[in-house]
Amino acid sequence: MALSPVMLIAILFVLGTLNIAANKAVVVSGHPMIEALPFTLRENGGRLAVMAEALLLFAAMLLAANGFPSAGWIYVIYSCGTLVAAWVILTGRA
């Protein structure tokens, strides 16, 4: 059974919001790995990194709404990986 485009977009929106929040939390966490990021991604609390995440979300939602549901599922997999990585960093397991 396939998911309707509206449901997929809703899932993408929720995951994207969580992804953006996790990205912001990691950038401002002060974790030593963040120092390896280029300065442009760290300055101003990581605004450029957050904007890139928002653009990825927007593109995935736009593609999913216009007949490319596989782009949405790729973003779901990407978001799950990013959320797991953020959890690992924020809980000090990395």
pLDDT in tens, 63-85: 999 989 999 999 999 999 999 99
Q: What is the pTM of this model?
A: 0.86
pLDDT in tens, 48-58: 888 889 999 99
Burial class for 34, CB neighbours closer than 10 Å (0-12, 13-18, 19+): middle
**Angle 58-28-93 (CA atoms, 0-180°, nearest 5)?**
100
Q: What per-residue confidence (pLDDT) applies to 75?
A: 96
- As a whole number of angstroms, the distance between CA 27 and CA 6 comes to 31
Whether the per-residue pLDDT at 40 is higher than 80: the answer is no
Whether the per-residue pLDDT at 1 is higher than 60: the answer is no
E strand intervals along 1-94:
none
